[in-house]
Amino acid sequence: MLKDNGPLVGVTVCDARDGDTTLVQMPKFEVSDLEILQGKYHTMVCLDLLIHYFQSKTDGMIAHLVSLAEQRLLQSFMPKTFF
């Protein structure tokens, strides 16, 4: 999908999630707390991360992620479990 828009030279991707990541193979990899993450990224990836936040913070966190994305935000949502 990233290559659909041409070469990846200069393209920045933020993989904002917990656990295993497939994007760790990218040339530059940074680790940061999501709430203090700064900068601009061509593509933001946020998979199954918002389940770790209280509902009262979710709207603000989504707005924060959108503000960091220059082109697209890829987000998935895992429903809260009670286990």
What is residue 23's DSSP assignment?
Answer: G
Q: What is the pLDDT of residue 67?
A: 94
Pull the structure tokens for residue 7.
Answer: 């070469």
**Residues with Cβ within 8 Å of residue 50, at least 6 apart in sequence:** 58, 61, 62, 75, 77
Domain ranges of the chain: 36-83
Q: Read off the pLDDT of residues 22-55 as tens digits, 9 standing for 90 and up.
A: 555 555 666 677 788 888 988 888 877 777 778 8
Beta carbons of 17 and 74 less than 8 angstroms apart: no
Secondary structure class of 11 (helix, strand, coil): coil
Pull the structure tokens for residue 11.
Answer: 């393209």
